[in-house]
Structure 1
Amino acid sequence: MYVIKDNVIKLSVRGLVEFICRSGDIDNRTGGFSDVRLMQEGTRMHKKIQKSMGASYRAEVPLKIELPETVENIDYIIRLEGRADGIISDFHEEADGSKTPVGKVIIDEIKTMQSDVEKLEQPVSVHEAQAKVYGYIYMVQNHLSGIGVQMTYANPETEKIKRFTKEYSKEELTEWFETLINSFKRWSDFVFCEREKRTASIKKLSFPFEYRKGQKKLVTGVYHCIGEARNLFIQASTGVGKTISTIYPAVCAMGQSKADKIFYLTSKTITRTVAEETFSILRRQGLSMRTVTLTAKDKICILEERNCNPVKCERAAGHFDRINDAVYDMITHEMVIDREKVMEYAKKHCVCPFEMSLDISYWCDGIICDYNYVFDPNVALKRYFGEGNRGEYIFLVDEAHNLVDRARQMYSAILVKEDFLTIKKYVKDTDRALYNSLEKCNAGLLEYKRKCDTIDVIDYLGTFPAALERCYVRLQHFLEHHKNHPQQEEILQFFFTLRHFLNMYDCMDEKYLIYTKHDENNHFYMKLFCVDPSTNLSERLAQGRSAVFFSATLLPVNYFKEMLTADTQDYAVYAQSSFDSKKRRIVIGKDVSSRYTRRNAGEYRKVCRYIAETVQVHPGRYLVFFPSYGYLQQVKENYEQMYKPDEIIMGAEGGTPKLTAEQNLIVQLPSMKEQEKENFLSLFENVQGSGSLLGFCVMGGIFSEGIDLKRESLIGTIIVGTGIPMISKERNLLRDYFDGCGKDGYAYAYIYPGMNKVLQSAGRVIRTEEDCGVIILLDDRFLTPGYEKLYPREWNEIYPVTKHNFKNILADFWKNLVQ
């Protein structure tokens, strides 16, 4: 909404009135959400109206006013900027080419609407306020005694127009404008007072810990990259202190006016907690800085089934009448704004907690949130990134290895043919025009279906996107006029799907593929597949100042540079590990393989033997990671027959069973609930009983990253296989695409993603300098050059073994460790 530079707070006229003058309900029952194509339609209609107005109409007139203000001996300026759609008057042209109004002047503000404009009985208050601000600025700057304000409403589809006009005296409009600015002044006063406190506190701030080996260099590198407005990639193993090493220099850069906000971006909830704690550490050092953690709408909604409209939710009714007071109450009383605090204040003021958290972010220096809020075109915070807005933002991207596949999902889009048939049934008796439009789209997909055997790559979609566009417009109109349709929710979700497909089609480039396929349910779909998301991501990154990508697994780093920013010249740092390598042993079983051609009972039993001997040599708690649930189940069945462990069945109920048997086995299940996940981990964290514990898990799953089991809670991981994704037609499309770009397609599609899973799983063992343990890799491919070059630098000593010397190698490690 606003940008601050030095002592100037700059905001648009529209942003000001939408913030101060908004009122009414949250209502999701229409498709009335702005997007590129609706804006384009609106622009077309604007131009048509402007051209029809004659010589006395000046279109697109830029307006700006600066208002000096003071708070607590801080002088600052509110700078309002905007562009009036039109000024109606006779004009006198001056010698310098400027035009001076002569006689009566009217400010014209044009708004396009999908609904029937002829039914409007009065202008929308926010729209009228925007026109009145333009009127005030123009009146003051041209020394007028009064001015007219006209609202012009138009429907782009029907091209019908309705106007509302009102005259204002200078005194009347001045009084109204001063009231508006005074309403905003409490917010701008707050911003400048808080910035003063923040800057003063940062100047006194020092790094809160004794620097570990290489950590000071890392902190300095982050600070300089932000100062130079460059991107930085950090490969740093566990224990280096990546979170504090990125947040601290980012905060220092804010103190030097090199940044306005810090976005700490994560892919998992647990890493958000680490960021919150890091900011708290700095606050205990004296930092005065407000942070907010954004929680997903479904997780923070008070309803059992989210339904954002005044009929279903009391908080949605009149939300915008109460929200500003709710936000101001919170930001003037809290510095740490997490989920619990948002819920507390939202309940107090009877507002939507999710929408409240987004509004709160305006007034916070740090925003901790999921990747989606910055990168996802459907979820991104439009208040920061809409319409190409740019700010002095720092993006700290945690566990950045996850962003490649996440971005591919965000910027890809799918249409399912059967969905068109379903929506057709819903609207058949209500909207024949929409029904026919849906049928035309279905017919288009049917043509592609007839040509598709297993998978079909398409070079050109012909007129099909135009049919989708027409269907989209019809859907928009339908949702506006049928808010209480029995299948309104399903139709709305289909609308969003279609909108996303069209938006992604608009931004498609050579880094996309279009293909059609039948899924496992024999449904037919068309996919816009974003094989390389770097263009989309770099466009968003360009709206900030600097991005720092960090992870324990950014190898090879040039692959991640290519996939995330498309610039291999971006800076990169390999942070040295402070961990004593003698306290860890990496063992590779060279007589075992997880290749599909080698998956048989003999190989499964060999894996079982490695697992059992690991526990026999040194009892304790171990995690075993498998390439799939299917492989896990095969090994589990063989292991139970061979070694008869006591299997622990964890349910959603609480309680931590004792480890009574010599060997205890617990297995990760698909789609585990949060409580089941916590119970699983509690067996490792809360040591009860003397028996060993094996956790059978899946690589790339919920236990392979983002969990923090320290010291005796975990003394080893056994990783079965190289982690390569299952061979699929889509993965093969990736392979072929990168082969065509002159890259190693198989490595890009399979090896690199797989090795990242391996390294993440291996990283569960060593979490602190006090930890010790073993990493056992069971696959002979780990000893081939293609994999060896992907080892982290700290893997400086590897022990290849066979079943004959494995126990001796492990026993030697544990014996020397004790000595």
Structure 2
Amino acid sequence: MAIKQEIKISVRNLVEFILRSGDIDSGFVRSSNRAVEGTRIHKKIQGSSDESYEPEVTLKYEIEYNNYVLAVEGRADGIIKEGDVITIDEIKSTTAPIEIIDEDFNPLHWAQAKCYAFIYADENSLSNINVQLTYYNIDTDEIKYIVKEYTFEELREFFLRLIQKYSIWLELQYQWDIERDESIKNLNFPYESYRKGQRKLAVAVYRTIVNEKKLYAQAPTGIGKTISTVFPAVKAMGEGHISKIFYLTAKTITRTVAQDAFALMRQNKLRLKTVTITAKEKICFKEKTNCSPDVCEYAKGHFDRVNAAIQDILKNEDDFNRETIEKYAKTHWVCPFEYSLDLTIWADAVICDYNYVFDPRVQLKRFFAEKGGDYAFLIDEAHNLVDRSREMFSAELYKKPFLDFKKGVKNTYPKLSKALNKVNQYMLSLKKLCENEEYYIKEELDNDIYYLLRKFISECEEYLIKEQGTEINEDFLKLYFDAISFTRIYEIYDERYITYVEKVNDDVKIKLFCLDPSKLLRDTLVKGKSAVFFSATLLPMEYHHNILGGDEDDYRIYLDSPFPDRNKCVLIGDNISTRYKERDKSYTHIAQYINSVLMAKSGNYLIFFPSYKYMNSVYDVFTHKYPELQAYIQSPNMSEDEREDFLSLFRINPQGNTIGFCVLGGVFSEGIDLKEDRLIGVIVVGVGLPQICLERNIIKDYFQNKNNLGFEYSYMYPGMNKVLQAAGRLIRTDDDKGIILLIDERFSYKTYQGLLPKEWFPNIRTTNNNIVKYLDEFWDRHG
């Protein structure tokens, strides 16, 4: 007898999906379940109970249909056994005053607990069972228990009514899975043949997913990384190894590439539903994002209409991109951002920024709040996740906003003013710790700030509830959310963190700084089945493997470039020092190098510098010395239109020279594709070391103590990653040809040579006296 397909849903998601109604919450709900509580509160209550209390009990109930089995599962906070009396305990944290909480406070809380009670009663043949809601006020530590007794039949009727309402969605999902899997079975690789290295990567990805492992792949430009990871993941899905693909990126451009890869397979008759999550601020229909139902007509009544909107798009579309989501959101009058988040449940693949999976503040809780699922994480441009994860797992606050807003509410909201003042006074005491220094590093975590912020958040929420319907100062809202973020990070703070206080102009900052994100990344990755980290610059592999949550049994792969080595010439101008103290001596020499390159062959070139200041200085010397040459320069904070205008200067079949002066690590050093002769040369000035700063030095000290590689982890490896990314703009296709010139004496050092990709060997040491000879030889070979 064939095993029926199992469709899973958590108790929480079932209850929220079927029973939700009304408006989108403004974000200032009285129950701050999503804000500052967490496992800490649960553990505190569970730990204070006696042996009659069994915490964290996993429950599962299966309903068999003709063609499939629905598995409803979840984890009850506690089971209390007192003689013959059994009670299901559901713990909820809140900032609402305990006295206003009654049994009608939140029907969804009862619904979730009643589902657990039914499953437990069914498993244990109970005719009656109690349900207890335990509300814990996180500000006052007060607890309120509300208990109801239910018969098994009452619970059974309630549970089955939920399932009946969900059954139309079940059938939709079941029929779709059949259609999807059949299309995957017949799906071929969307190109006639694999490029060099492409098949090897695709096989490695498939094997990683099937074996439930992690893969770290150094995959040079041109292999076709996106299709080589997506295609085997889709194949693994069709065979039942995974239920969902998360394609994670750091930039909008790479999300577009992922969308294109799925679209390409759809041309080969693949049926697969994908959703792309666009940031709320970008997709919001309102001029200023405000989710209050009093301000936004799409927020008002959103949950009364959203399920119809979901059903409509599921029946008519496969690609839930931004334009499609906006179209259906307007038709059904729902919030496009919240709508897109709901669509992630029904999509086979989710294309989104890293933070929707890893950031504890915006993580998609519906997938990762509990034990996770059969997910594959495809992590594009994974080198970016190093600094991004440090940023996601860190939090900071400034003193000045607390002082400013304290004055503003002193007369109208004295309790809020008092809470603001207490934080301000605490921050003032921190400033004094700096004394004559600009910073102070705290070795131990201070509990005072946590409790002061919790009080502030509580008073904030009271204030925001009373002010609903009025326009709230945006800076105040930012302070409120920053405080919530700070408390969230506080709750995961461990030995991989450090706290520092820093004077910033006339203000002072306190930061919970994540030095080593590896454990927190690993904790999220175990919520899925497998993960693939891939990038053209995942060197050195050991460094990225350690920082990005690697384990001993992970797979690693280093792929060769698919492009002929003869198509590029790598030169090293090692007679110049670009160290900070010697830069002013280098301007003229670098300008001469650039001119020598242009003399050998006119065309389009990009020159990358470690800072705007250095770039501007060389630009001034170059344009003064060679006024006849057309040079353009990157400016800070360029708009999307300005970036497009800059790139449009690099035309195919150029009639003269186009020279772009850019910064390493900037918008033009990653993710741009100037194919053929739109780019024939890249010059990189310096080894890309990040600017010396407090945080980099703290990271250096931490890893020096941990593995004796402090400078490497903090400065050298991140710097060289920028160099490799910038140089990677050059060769994008089989027909591309060009030169890479690296200017800095350190590029000849053994330590830096060891960080260059193997396709950059052999390379040629050169000076301004002989570089034209080498360039002429290269261009003569290539016409």
Q: Common fold, TM-score beyond 0.5? A: yes
Per-residue deviation, residues 533-579 of structure 1 (Å, max 9, x unmatched): 11111111111111111111111110101111143553211111121
Paired amino acid for 2:732? R
Matches within 5 A, 1:48-67: 64-67=60-63
Please state whether the residue corresponding to 1:258 is helix, strand or coil.
coil
| Residue 270 (structure 1) aligns with | 253
| Residue 539 (structure 2) aligns with | 555
Are 1:65 and 1:81, in contact at CA under 8 Å, matched by a contact in 2? no
**Distance apart, 1:46 and its partner CA:** 7.0
**Distance apart, 1:357 and its partner CA:** 0.6
> Do residues 572 (structure 1) and 556 (structure 2) align?
yes
Which piece of structure 1 moves more, 40-49 or 272-281?
40-49
For the residues of structure 2 that align with 1:190 and 1:778, how far apart are their CA atoms? 60
**Distance apart, 1:676 and its partner CA:** 0.9
**Distance apart, 1:746 and its partner CA:** 1.4
Are 1:236 and 1:552, in contact at CA under 8 Å, matched by a contact in 2? yes
Paired amino acid for 1:592? I
Please state whether the residue corresponding to 1:237 is helix, strand or coil.
coil
For the residues of structure 1 that align with 2:39 and 2:415, how far apart are their CA atoms? 23
| Residue 780 (structure 1) aligns with | 745
| Residue 815 (structure 1) aligns with | 780
> Do residues 316 (structure 1) and 299 (structure 2) align?
yes
Per-residue deviation, residues 657-677 of structure 1 (Å, max 9, x unmatched): xxxxxx322211110011111
Are 2:295 and 2:469, in contact at CA under 8 Å, matched by a contact in 1? no
Please state whether the residue corresponding to 1:640 is helix, strand or coil.
helix
**Distance apart, 1:503 and its partner CA:** 2.1
For the residues of structure 2 that align with 1:532 and 1:179, how far apart are their CA atoms? 48
Distance 1:141 1:536, change over 3 A: closer
Are 2:243 and 2:375, in contact at CA under 8 Å, matched by a contact in 1? yes
For the residues of structure 2 that align with 1:495 and 1:776, how far apart are their CA atoms? 49
**Distance apart, 1:612 and its partner CA:** 1.8
Larger radius of gyration: 1
1:30 maps to which of 28, 31, 34? 28
| Residue 543 (structure 1) aligns with | 527
Which piece of structure 1 moves more, 254-263 or 151-160?
151-160
1:406 maps to which of 377, 384, 388? 388
Are 1:29 and 1:488, in contact at CA under 8 Å, matched by a contact in 2? no
For the residues of structure 1 that align with 2:57 and 2:207, how far apart are their CA atoms? 41
For the residues of structure 1 that align with 2:607 and 2:622, how far apart are their CA atoms? 12
Paired amino acid for 2:351? I
2:487 maps to which of 485, 489, 502? 502
For the residues of structure 2 that align with 1:215 and 1:298, how far apart are their CA atoms? 37
| Residue 182 (structure 1) aligns with | 164
2:69 maps to which of 76, 81, 87? 76
Please state whether the residue corresponding to 1:355 is helix, strand or coil.
helix
**Distance apart, 1:119 and its partner CA:** 7.3
| Residue 769 (structure 1) aligns with | 734
Distance 1:118 1:444, change over 3 A: closer
Please state whether the residue corresponding to 1:356 is helix, strand or coil.
helix
> Do residues 220 (structure 1) and 218 (structure 2) align?
no
For the residues of structure 1 that align with 2:323 and 2:441, how far apart are their CA atoms? 48
**Distance apart, 1:281 and its partner CA:** 1.8
For the residues of structure 1 that align with 2:580 and 2:120, how far apart are their CA atoms? 74
| Residue 106 (structure 2) aligns with | 124
Which piece of structure 1 moves more, 108-117 or 502-511?
108-117
| Residue 368 (structure 1) aligns with | 351
Please state whether the residue corresponding to 1:38 is helix, strand or coil.
coil
For the residues of structure 2 that align with 1:150 and 1:30, how far apart are their CA atoms? 26
Are 2:609 and 2:684, in contact at CA under 8 Å, matched by a contact in 1? yes
> Do residues 668 (structure 1) and 634 (structure 2) align?
yes
| Residue 460 (structure 1) aligns with | 444
Per-residue deviation, residues 192-218 of structure 1 (Å, max 9, x unmatched): 222222222222222223122232222
**Distance apart, 1:339 and its partner CA:** 0.5
2:425 maps to which of 435, 443, 448? 443
For the residues of structure 2 that align with 1:60 and 1:769, how far apart are their CA atoms? 57
Matches within 5 A, 1:111-510: 113-116=94-97, 117-118=99-100, 122=104, 124-130=106-112, 133=115, 157=140, 159=142, 170=153, 177-209=159-191, 210-386=193-369, 388-452=370-434, 453-465=437-449, 466-483=451-468, 487=472, 489-510=474-495
Are 2:58 and 2:73, in contact at CA under 8 Å, matched by a contact in 1? no
| Residue 574 (structure 2) aligns with | 590
Please state whether the residue corresponding to 1:232 is helix, strand or coil.
strand
Paired amino acid for 2:240? S
Per-residue deviation, residues 238-283 of structure 1 (Å, max 9, x unmatched): 1111111111111122122221111111111111111111112222
Per-residue deviation, residues 676-722 of structure 1 (Å, max 9, x unmatched): 111111221466x6222111111110000100110011111111111
For the residues of structure 2 that align with 1:431 and 1:234, how far apart are their CA atoms? 56
In the alignment of these two chains, the number of paired residues is 774
For the residues of structure 2 that align with 1:596 and 1:111, how far apart are their CA atoms? 55
For the residues of structure 1 that align with 2:593 and 2:711, how far apart are their CA atoms? 29
**Distance apart, 1:135 and its partner CA:** 6.3
> Do residues 692 (structure 1) and 657 (structure 2) align?
yes
For the residues of structure 2 that align with 1:48 and 1:549, how far apart are their CA atoms? 38
| Residue 680 (structure 1) aligns with | 646
Paired amino acid for 1:561? H
Are 1:561 and 1:568, in contact at CA under 8 Å, matched by a contact in 2? no
Paired amino acid for 1:666? Y
Please state whether the residue corresponding to 2:630 is helix, strand or coil.
strand
Are 1:14 and 1:82, in contact at CA under 8 Å, matched by a contact in 2? no
**Distance apart, 1:334 and its partner CA:** 0.8
**Distance apart, 1:390 and its partner CA:** 1.5
Please state whether the residue corresponding to 1:206 is helix, strand or coil.
coil
Tell me the TM-score normalised to structure 1 length.
Answer: 0.87
Please state whether the residue corresponding to 2:562 is helix, strand or coil.
coil
Per-residue deviation, residues 359-417 of structure 1 (Å, max 9, x unmatched): 0010111111111111111111111112x432111111111111101111111111212
For the residues of structure 1 that align with 2:373 and 2:695, how far apart are their CA atoms? 37
Which piece of structure 1 moves more, 416-425 or 390-399?
416-425
Distance 1:253 1:479, change over 3 A: same
| Residue 766 (structure 2) aligns with | 801
Distance 1:143 1:582, change over 3 A: closer
Which piece of structure 1 moves more, 77-86 or 429-438?
77-86
Are 2:135 and 2:144, in contact at CA under 8 Å, matched by a contact in 1? yes
Tell me the TM-score normalised to structure 2 length.
Answer: 0.91
For the residues of structure 2 that align with 1:567 and 1:58, how far apart are their CA atoms? 33
Are 2:32 and 2:95, in contact at CA under 8 Å, matched by a contact in 1? no
Please state whether the residue corresponding to 2:539 is helix, strand or coil.
coil
Query: What are the ranges of 5 or more consecutive residues in structure 2 without an aligned counterpart?
Result: none
In percent, how many aligned pairs have the same letter? 43
| Residue 745 (structure 1) aligns with | 710
| Residue 701 (structure 1) aligns with | 666
**Distance apart, 1:793 and its partner CA:** 0.9
Per-residue deviation, residues 619-676 of structure 1 (Å, max 9, x unmatched): 111111111111111111112211114xxxxxxxxxxxxxxxxx32221111001111
Distance 1:761 1:506, change over 3 A: same
Query: What are the ranges of 5 or more consecutive residues in structure 1 without an aligned counterpart?
Result: 93-98, 646-662
Paired amino acid for 1:702? V
**Distance apart, 1:422 and its partner CA:** 2.2
Are 2:68 and 2:174, in contact at CA under 8 Å, matched by a contact in 1? no
Are 1:625 and 1:698, in contact at CA under 8 Å, matched by a contact in 2? yes
Please state whether the residue corresponding to 1:332 is helix, strand or coil.
helix
Which piece of structure 1 moves more, 26-35 or 626-635?
26-35
**Distance apart, 1:462 and its partner CA:** 4.2
RMSD: 3.1
| Residue 609 (structure 1) aligns with | 592
**Distance apart, 1:319 and its partner CA:** 0.6
> Do residues 512 (structure 1) and 497 (structure 2) align?
yes
Please state whether the residue corresponding to 1:257 is helix, strand or coil.
coil
Distance 1:610 1:430, change over 3 A: same
| Residue 648 (structure 1) aligns with | none
